[in-house]
Amino acid sequence: MKHIRSLWKKHKLGILITVSIVAIIYMSPLLWMFITSIRPTRDIYKFPPTIIPGEITLNNYVYVLTKMEGFKRYLLNSIVVTTATVIIVVVASAMGGYAFGVRRFKGQNFLFIAILSVLTLPYIMYLIPIYIMEDRLNLRNTWWGLILPYVALNLPWGLLIMRGAFSTVPLDIRDAAVIDGCNEFQMWYMVLLPIVRPAIAATTIITFVFAWQEYLFASTLMTKNEWQTLPVGVVWMRDELQTLVYGRIGAMIILSIIPVFILFLAFRRFFIEGLREGMIK
Amino acid sequence: MRESKLTLFIFLAPTLIFVLVFIAYPIIYSAYLGLSEYNYASDPSPKFIGFKGFMNTIFKDSMFHTAFINQFQFAIPYFMITFLGSLILAILIDELRYGASFFQVLFYLPMIIPLSLVGVTFAWLLFPDVGIFNHILRRLGVKNWNIDWYGDPKTALNSLVLARSWKMLGFTLIIFLSGLQGIPKSIREAAKVDGASFFQEIWYIVLPNLKPYLYISSIWILINAMKTFDLVAVITQGGPGMSTLTLYYYSWKLAFQRLDMGRASQVAYITAAVIILFSLGFSRLFKSETASRM
């Protein structure tokens, strides 16, 4: 008995069990959506509900992927908008991060803090004028109409990460490049960018995750169904199809998460580092 | 190498263009809209009225008052659950001998799920009749238990809090965990040698050392608590009645359903003012510690 207790204490099994139970409860919403998505419709709406699925089927997934043109369109919109946003944010923040992290100029800190404060204000302050602007320029219900504001909203975070990375590059590396006859652009491109690769990865994954899930701008600026992204389109589907479709809704939700989940697993170190960097500094 | 003004400008140009067009100009223009009367459907251009619009919103608009109160009724439990939940979880995960990184990935997972789809998921979970949450409560012995969580004005707002906290927890967990990792093991060992219990160790050693991180996560939760849009739009649309009408959603509704851009901007600006005031308040509260550390 004593032996077991000391083992229990040494390995802190009590804490392990507590955390495990919390984790199971915490994961249950997602798990339940998944279970719903692999059940036949008649089981989903059985009353009283059963927790353990009796019959497992992939019909909902097959239906979503083959019969729902809308879903494919949302997926396409999400991929195009997110990818374009990521590319522009990475390029712009790699350039701006260099300016803020390496160069010295007047008003530097003020400008940087002003750009960062973007993150704290309610986005609807930007959305109202952007809506009016895009309405006049016929940018609503186009890919660019979403990409451009997304870049602006994600740029501050990217700048924060890239500035941090550039400012830690040792001076002698830059000096060596200068002696080798590089001009400033060559130095930035060929010497510094390879060094700050982890920061580029962090910016990429964070921008991807945020752009993939954005709802406020997407739902307001993309009023036509064919231009909507996944977070908006799936909700639209739910409202449109109303009853008895939670199996398909569940399948759509799981499918919407898969691309970003794969990226998250692959790059989670950068994702967490980047968020930590951004949130704590 | 010449570090010329021109190259500096080129490096800064993309940032400046995006920030000027999509951030700075909108901030200024919505300030102007806030000082104007502007119905986007009928008025050809905004009519300047000065602070009258703000006065009307603050003192006469009863929907604004409801939204303001709701916002705090949302923010307070949201803050408590997210803050305490992630703090306790972080302390537990930090103590783990095995599987710490596995559990971190698990708890970070909701961060990547679109909030609108979190909303759909929770609405399904808390469904009346066939919803699993009511079912489990019934199984646990509450007879005939069948609450329409998002349809009942008494429970709707708190049910939104639940979904929002679920999504936010991972963010503050990151902050707390990196704070905990920064505390030297030697201080904690010393406390144990002196005979401190686990809770004494947490209270006297860990929490004081965590203070800057408590501050940072407070600020992040607070900023988030004021930006409550997605869930409201997806689950309740402000209802039932006006029980889940938040400032953010009210502003959006004014702008894009009633096309009253003036009042919408006023509400947005007041929301911003609340965020800034609270951030300043919190930084006062934690002032000495953060100034010396950060």
pLDDT in tens, B50-70: 888 888 888 888 899 999 999
Q: Which of A100, A207, A205 is nearest to A160 (CA)?
A: A100
A17-26: Cβ within 8 A, 24+ apart: A18/B92, A19/B89, A19/B92, A19/B93, A19/B96, A19/B99, A19/B103, A22/B89, A22/B92, A23/B103, A23/B106, A23/B107, A26/B106, A26/B107, A26/B166, A26/B169
List CB contacts (< 8 A) between A215 and chain B.
114-116, 229-230, 233-234
Place B293 in a pLDDT band, splitting at 50, 70 and 90.
very low
Average pLDDT over residues B116-128: 88
- Whether B284 has a pLDDT exceeding 80, the answer reads no
Q: How many CB atoms lie within 10 A of CB B270?
A: 20
Q: Which domains occur in chain B, in start order?
A: 89-286 (1.10.3720.10)
First-to-last alpha carbon distance for chain B, in angstroms, is: 34
- Give SS3 for B37: strand
Q: Which of A198, A181, A199, A201 is nearest to A190 (CA)?
A: A181
The model's pLDDT over B228-240, given as tens digits with 9 standing for 90+, comes to 889 999 888 887 8
List CB contacts (< 8 A) between B106 and chain A.
23, 26-27
Q: Which of A55, A231, A97 is nearest to B121 (CA)?
A: A231
- Give SS3 for A227: helix
A49 to chain B, any CB pair closer than 8 A? The answer is yes
Average pLDDT over residues B255-284: 89
pLDDT at position B141 is 75
- Whether B288 has a pLDDT exceeding 60, the answer reads no
Report the alpha-carbon distance of residue A262 to residue B186 in Å, rounded.
Answer: 38
- The Cα-based distances of B139 to B133, B161, B228 in angstroms read 10, 24, 33
Contact A97, A159 (CB under 8 A): yes
- For residue A134 the two structure tokens come to 């895009």
Instruction: Give whichever of A2-16, A193-207, B46-60, B123-137 has the largest mean pLDDT.
Output: A193-207
Q: Which of B165, B81, B279, B78 is nearest to A119 (CA)?
A: B279
Query: Residues 119 to 178 of A: which have CB under 8 A from any B CB?
Result: 119-133, 148-149, 151-153, 155, 159, 178
- The Cα-based distances of A33 to A42, A92, A254, B68, B192 in angstroms read 16, 38, 8, 33, 44
- Whether B243 has a pLDDT exceeding 80, the answer reads yes
- Whether B294 has a pLDDT exceeding 50, the answer reads no
Q: Do B15 and A93 count as a contact with CB atoms less than 8 A apart?
A: yes
The model's pLDDT over A87-102, given as tens digits with 9 standing for 90+, comes to 999 999 999 999 998 8
The model's pLDDT over A93-128, given as tens digits with 9 standing for 90+, comes to 999 999 998 888 888 999 998 898 888 888 999 999
CB-defined contacts A:B, below 8 A:
257
- Whether A194 has a pLDDT exceeding 50, the answer reads yes
Q: Do B174 and A276 count as a contact with CB atoms less than 8 A apart?
A: yes
pLDDT at position B15 is 94
H or E element, residue B24: none
Q: Do B96 and A19 count as a contact with CB atoms less than 8 A apart?
A: yes
Q: Do B268 and A260 count as a contact with CB atoms less than 8 A apart?
A: no
Measured over the CA atoms of residue B39, residue B42, residue B44 and residue B49, the dihedral's sign is negative
Helices marked H in chain B: 5-19, 25-34, 52-55, 62-95, 100-108, 115-125, 132-139, 156-181, 185-193, 198-200, 207-226, 230-231, 247-256, 261-285, 287-293
Q: Do B130 and A46 count as a contact with CB atoms less than 8 A apart?
A: yes
Q: What is the DSSP string of A28-73?
A: HHHHHHHHHHTS-HHHHT-SS--SS-SS---HHHHHHHHH-HHHHH
- The Cα-based distances of A258 to A180, A209, A236, A238, B154 in angstroms read 46, 12, 20, 19, 36
User: Could you tell me what percent of chain B has a pLDDT over 70?
Assistant: 96
- Whether A180 has a pLDDT exceeding 70, the answer reads yes
**From the candidates B116, B211, B213, B246, which should be mutated to test the interface with A, based on the most A CB atoms within 10 A?**
B116
Least confident range from A37-41, A184-188, A206-210, B289-293: namely B289-293
Q: Do A124 and B276 count as a contact with CB atoms less than 8 A apart?
A: no
pLDDT at position B77 is 95
- Whether A54 has a pLDDT exceeding 90, the answer reads no
Average pLDDT over residues B179-203: 85
- For residue A223 the two structure tokens come to 């009023």
The minimum CA-CA distance between B97 and chain A, rounded to whole Å, is 6
Mean pLDDT of chain B: 86
- Whether A49 has a pLDDT exceeding 80, the answer reads no
Q: Which of A62, B265, B199, A170 is nearest to B250 (CA)?
A: B265
Contacts of B186 (CB under 8 A, 6+ apart): none
- Whether B264 has a pLDDT exceeding 60, the answer reads yes
The minimum CA-CA distance between A175 and chain B, rounded to whole Å, is 9
Report the alpha-carbon distance of residue A73 to residue A99 in Å, rounded.
Answer: 39
Query: Residues 62 to 91 of A: which have CB under 8 A from any B CB?
Result: 88, 91
A44-47: Cβ within 8 A, 24+ apart: A44/A244, A44/A246, A44/A247, A44/B130, A45/A244, A45/B130, A46/B130, A47/B129, A47/B130
Q: Do B264 and A185 count as a contact with CB atoms less than 8 A apart?
A: no
Report the alpha-carbon distance of residue A90 to residue A143 in Å, rounded.
Answer: 18
Average pLDDT over residues A148-166: 94
- The Cα-based distances of B94 to A271, B128, B144, B169, B235 in angstroms read 20, 38, 41, 16, 35
User: Could you tell me what percent of chain A has a pLDDT over 70?
Assistant: 98
List CB contacts (< 8 A) between A45 and chain B.
130
Average pLDDT over residues B186-209: 84
Q: Do B93 and A19 count as a contact with CB atoms less than 8 A apart?
A: yes
Instruction: Give whichever of A45-49, A58-62, B288-292 has the largest mean pLDDT.
Output: A58-62
- Whether B291 has a pLDDT exceeding 80, the answer reads no
pLDDT at position A2 is 67
Nearest CA in chain A to B166: A26
Strand partners, B260: B39
Place B41 in a pLDDT band, splitting at 50, 70 and 90.
confident
Q: Do A15 and B18 count as a contact with CB atoms less than 8 A apart?
A: no
pLDDT at position B2 is 55
Upper half-sphere CA count for residue B66 (Cβ side, 13 Å): 15
Using alpha carbons only, give the angle A260, A263, A266 rounded to the nearest 5 degrees.
150
- Whether B46 has a pLDDT exceeding 50, the answer reads yes
Report the alpha-carbon distance of residue A236 to residue B234 in Å, rounded.
Answer: 9
Instruction: Give whichever of A39-43, A177-181, B27-31, B208-212 has the largest mean pLDDT.
Output: B27-31
The model's pLDDT over A251-269, given as tens digits with 9 standing for 90+, comes to 999 999 999 999 999 998 8
Least confident range from A3-7, B23-27, B48-52, B155-159: namely A3-7
The closest CB to that of B107, out of A11, A26, A128, belongs to: A26
Report the alpha-carbon distance of residue A233 to residue A79 in Å, rounded.
Answer: 13
- For residue B268 the two structure tokens come to 């947005």
- Whether B81 has a pLDDT exceeding 90, the answer reads yes
- Whether B290 has a pLDDT exceeding 50, the answer reads no
Q: Do A26 and B166 count as a contact with CB atoms less than 8 A apart?
A: yes
Q: Do B271 and A122 count as a contact with CB atoms less than 8 A apart?
A: yes
List CB contacts (< 8 A) between A188 and chain B.
11
The closest CB to that of B114, out of A118, A182, A256, belongs to: A256
Place B227 in a pLDDT band, splitting at 50, 70 and 90.
confident
Contact B264, A128 (CB under 8 A): yes
The closest CB to that of A99, out of B12, B92, B107, belongs to: B12
Q: Do B23 and A122 count as a contact with CB atoms less than 8 A apart?
A: no
Specify the length of chain B in residues. Answer: 294
pTM for the full model?
Answer: 0.90
Instruction: Give whichever of A5-19, A169-183, B126-140, B154-168 has the largest mean pLDDT.
Output: B154-168
The minimum CA-CA distance between A260 and chain B, rounded to whole Å, is 7
Rounded to the nearest angstrom, the gap between the alpha carbon of residue A186 and the centroid of all alpha carbons in its chain is 31
A189 to chain B, any CB pair closer than 8 A? The answer is no
- Whether B24 has a pLDDT exceeding 90, the answer reads yes
Q: What is the DSSP string of B150-168?
A: TTSTTTHHHHHHHHHHHHH
Report the alpha-carbon distance of residue A142 to residue A145 in Å, rounded.
Answer: 5
Least confident range from A16-20, B181-185, B254-258: namely B181-185
pLDDT at position B292 is 42
Nearest CA in chain B to A123: B227
Q: Do A125 and B27 count as a contact with CB atoms less than 8 A apart?
A: yes
pLDDT at position A59 is 85
The closest CB to that of B15, out of A124, A159, A281, belongs to: A159
Q: Do B226 and A122 count as a contact with CB atoms less than 8 A apart?
A: yes
DSSP assignment, residue B202? I
pLDDT at position A1 is 63
- For residue A13 the two structure tokens come to 């099994």
Report the alpha-carbon distance of residue B284 to residue A198 in Å, rounded.
Answer: 35
Report the alpha-carbon distance of residue B119 to residue B231 in Å, rounded.
Answer: 5
H or E element, residue B41: none
